[in-house]
Amino acid sequence: QKEVEQDPGPLSVPEGAIVSLNCTYSNSAFQYFMWYRQYSRKGPELLMYTYSSGNKEDGRFTAQVDKSSKYISLFIRDSQPSDSATYLCAMSQDTGRRALTFGSGTRLQVQP
Amino acid sequence: SQTIHQWPATLVQPVGSPLSLECTVEGTSNPNLYWYRQAAGRGLQLLFYSVGIGQISSEVPQNLSASRPQDRQFILSSKKLLLSDSGFYLCAWSGRARGPYNEQFFGPGTRLTVL
Do B99 and B70 contact (CB within 8 A), yes or no? no
Average pLDDT over residues B14-36: 94
Better pLDDT: B69 or B60:
B69
pLDDT one-digit tens code per residue, A18-56: 999 999 999 998 888 999 999 998 999 989 888 888 899
Do A76 and A61 contact (CB within 8 A), yes or no? yes
A41 and B97: CB-CB below 8 Å?
no
pLDDT one-digit tens code per residue, B79-101: 999 999 999 999 999 886 655 45
pLDDT one-digit tens code per residue, A59-96: 999 999 999 999 999 999 999 999 999 999 999 886 55
A98 and B102: CB-CB below 8 Å?
yes
* Residue B27 Rama label (left phi>0; alpha psi -120 to 50; beta): left
Sort out which chain B residues have CB atoms less than 8 A from A98's CB and list them. Answer: 32, 94, 97, 100-102, 104
- Residue A94 near chain B (CB below 8 Å): yes
Three-class SS of residue A58?
strand
**CA distance linking residue B40 with residue B38, whole number of Å:** 7
